[in-house]
C-alpha cells in the first residue's frame, strides 16, 4: 500500500488494508482494543492491477485508489471510500486516467482535505504529475496538470496546515514539492531541492500544526528528513528497504515523532523516536518483536485511547501482529500478539 495501511476509524476501531494480487482486503477490530474480524474484500469484484494507495482525512474516512482494467483492456484509476471499519466500503468507481489511453503510468497517491474531499495524484507518461479531486457538490473535477519533470515512482501526499494538501515526489536527483495555499485551491510547484532518493522510500507526515515532513532514504543509505524551506537532514542509517512508517504522538509529555521499519539485518521491527521537527537531536533504532519474513512491513497509528500501536503484516503469509505502548516511561512496547 502507498500510505499507512493501519488506520483508526471514526468509531475508534483500528483497521488494516492489505493489497493482494487483484484486490484490497480489510480487517478491523470488532470493538476498540478487542478482537479482530476476518479479512474481507473491499469494493466489490472488480480486479485491481496495481499497488493501491490509502489516505485518511480529519473525518477519519479511508479513501483507496488503484489501477484497474476496463472492458476494452485499457487501464484506469478507480476509487473507493470506506466510512467505517466494520461496514462495507463503496464499490470501486472509475475516475479515469490522466491521459487518453495506454497502460498504467505509476503508483497513485491519495490524500483527503478537511472537507472530506479525496485528491488523487499520479505520474503521467511524460514524467509530470497529474491530479484529480472530488468536487464540493459531488463527482470529480477535471484532471489537472501540476507540471514538474522527471517524476519517478509514486508521489506521496498528506493533509497539512488548515487542511491544505501537500505533495512530494522524487525526480532525477531532486525532490519536488507542491502545495495549495488554501484548501480547495490550485496546486503550485513551490520548491525543488537537490537530493538523491533511493527508489520507493518516500513517506510524508504532518509533523506539526504548521509543517509536513518528508522522510526518505538517501543515496548513502541514511534515513533523511526534509521540510520545505530547509535542507534534508540525515537522522541515522535506514534499518531496511522501503519507506518508514511514521506517526506523531506524545511520549512523557513531549511531542515526538516515531518511525518504524523492518530491519534488513535481523528481520525484526526497528523503532526510533525523537522530538518532532528537532532532527538535530538525533535518533537511534531499538528493535522489538519476532523475526519476520522479508516482505513484512510495519505501520503505526494511535488507538482510541491515544496509545501508540504498531502492526506488522506479511503479504506472503497474511499474518498480522500487533503491539501497543505500555503505560511506562519512554517508548516501552507490550508483547507482540498475532491477530
User: What is the residue extent of each domain of the chain?
Assistant: 1-194
Question: Could you report how far apart the first and last alpha carbons of the chain are, in Å?
Answer: 20
CATH number of 1-194: 2.120.10.10
Q: What is the pLDDT of residue 220?
A: 97
DSSP characters for 206-226? E-SSS-EEEEEEBTTSEEEEE
Contacting residues for 61 by C-beta, under 8 A, at least 6 apart:
10, 81, 82, 83, 112, 116
Of the candidates 336, 333, 161, 321, which has an alpha carbon nearest to the alpha carbon of residue 251?
333
pTM above 0.75, yes or no: yes
- Give pLDDT tens digits along the chain (339 positions): 999 999 999 999 999 999 998 999 999 999 999 999 999 999 999 999 878 999 998 999 999 999 999 988 889 999 999 999 999 999 999 999 998 767 888 999 999 999 999 999 999 989 999 999 999 888 999 999 999 989 998 999 999 988 899 999 999 999 999 999 888 899 999 999 999 999 999 999 999 999 999 999 999 999 999 999 999 999 999 999 999 999 999 999 999 999 999 999 999 999 999 999 999 999 999 999 999 999 999 999 999 999 999 999 998 888 999 999 999 999 999 999 999
Contacting residues for 12 by C-beta, under 8 A, at least 6 apart:
32, 303, 304
Contacting residues for 6 by C-beta, under 8 A, at least 6 apart:
14, 15, 16, 299, 300, 301, 309, 311
Q: What is the pLDDT of residue 162?
A: 81
Q: What is the pLDDT of residue 189?
A: 97
Alpha-carbon Rg of the chain, whole angstroms?
19
Amino acid at each position: 500500500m502507498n500510505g499507512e495501511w493501519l488506520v483508526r476509524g471514526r468509531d475508534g476501531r483500528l483497521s488494516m488494508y492489505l493489497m493482494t494480487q487483484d484486490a484490497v482486503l480489510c480487517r478491523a477490530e470488532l470493538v476498540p482494543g478487542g478482537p479482530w474480524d476476518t479479512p474481507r474484500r473491499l469494493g466489490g469484484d472488480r480486479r485491481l492491477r496495481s499497488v493501491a494507495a490509502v489516505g485518511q482525512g480529519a473525518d477519519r474516512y479511508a479513501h483507496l485508489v488503484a489501477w484497474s482494467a476496463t472492458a476494452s483492456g485499457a487501464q484506469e484509476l478507480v476509487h473507493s471510500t470506506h466510512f467505517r471499519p466494520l461496514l462495507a466500503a463503496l464499490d470501486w468507481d472509475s475516475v479515469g486516467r490522466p491521459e487518453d489511453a495506454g497502460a498504467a503510468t505509476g503508483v497513485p497517491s491519495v490524500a483527503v482535505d478537511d472537507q472530506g474531499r479525496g485528491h488523487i495524484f499520479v505520474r503521467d507518461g511524460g514524467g509530470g504529475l497529474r491530479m484529480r479531486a472530488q468536487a464540493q457538490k459531488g463527482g470529480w473535477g477535471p484532471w489537472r496538470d501540476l507540471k514538474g519533470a522527471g517524476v519517478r515512482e509514486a508521489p506521496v501526499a498528506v493533509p497539512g496546515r488548515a487542511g491544505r494538501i501537500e505533495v512530494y515526489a522524487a525526480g532525477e536527483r531532486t525532490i519536488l514539492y507542491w502545495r495549495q495555499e488554501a484548501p480547495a485551491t490550485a496546486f503550485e510547484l513551490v520548491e525543488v531541492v537537490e537530493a538523491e532518493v533511493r527508489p520507493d522510500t518516500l513517506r510524508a507526515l504532518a509533523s506539526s500544526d504548521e509543517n509536513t515532513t518528508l522522510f526518505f532514504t538517501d543515496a548513502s543509505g541514511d534515513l533523511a528528513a526534509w521540510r520545505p524551506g530547509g535542507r534534508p537532514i540525515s537522522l541515522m542509517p535506514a534499518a531496511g528497504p522501503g519507506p518508514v512508517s511514521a506517526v506523531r504522538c506524545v511520549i512523557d509529555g513531549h511531542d515526538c515523532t516515531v518511525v518504524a521499519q523492518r530491519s534488513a539485518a535481523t528481520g525484526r521491527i526497528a523503532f526510533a523516536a525523537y522530538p518532532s521537527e528537532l532532527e538535530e537531536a538525533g535518533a537511534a533504532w531499538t528493535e522489538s518483536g519476532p523475526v519476520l519474513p522479508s516482505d513484512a512491513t510495519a505501520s503505526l497509528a494511535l488507538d482510541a485511547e491515544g496509545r501508540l500501536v504498531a502492526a506488522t503484516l506479511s503479504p506472503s503469509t497474511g499474518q498480522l501482529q500487533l503491539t501497543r505502548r505500555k503505560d511506562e516511561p519512554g517508548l516501552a512496547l507490550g508483547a507482540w500478539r498475532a491477530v
